[in-house]
C-alpha cells in the first residue's frame, strides 16, 4: 500500500493548528478524508476546549484509517 500525507488546519474558537495525517493513497481514502473533515464542525460543538477537540479529531481520523504525524 502506498501512503499519502493529508493536511488539515484544525480550528476551535480562536485556536488553530496545522495537522498532518498518513493514509492510503487512493480515491476511496481521499473521499473518506473529505467525509471525516466534514464531521469536524459538529465534533467541535461537543468539545469544551482546543485540546479536547484536537484529541477527538485525531481519534476520528484514526478510526477512518488516517494516522496523525507528530513533528
Give dist(CA 39, CA 57) in Å, integer.
9
For residue 27, CA distances in Å to 30, 32, 35, 39, 57 come to: 5, 9, 12, 19, 21
Pair 5, 22: CB distance under 8 Å: yes
Q: Is the model's pLDDT at 42 over the cut of 70?
A: yes
pLDDT reading at 33 higher than 90 = yes
Is it the case that residue 64 has pLDDT exceeding 80? yes
* pTM given for the model: 0.91
From CA 20, how far away is CA 51, in angstroms rounded? 16
Amino acid at each position: 500500500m502506498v501512503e499519502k500525507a493529508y493536511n488539515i488546519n484544525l480550528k476551535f474558537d480562536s485556536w488553530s493548528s496545522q495537522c498532518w495525517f498518513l493514509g492510503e493513497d487512493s480515491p476511496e481514502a481521499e473521499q473518506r478524508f473529505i467525509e471525516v473533515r466534514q464531521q469536524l464542525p459538529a465534533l467541535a460543538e461537543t468539545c469544551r476546549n482546543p485540546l479536547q477537540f484536537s484529541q477527538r479529531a485525531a481519534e476520528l481520523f484514526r478510526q477512518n484509517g488516517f494516522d496523525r504525524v507528530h513533528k
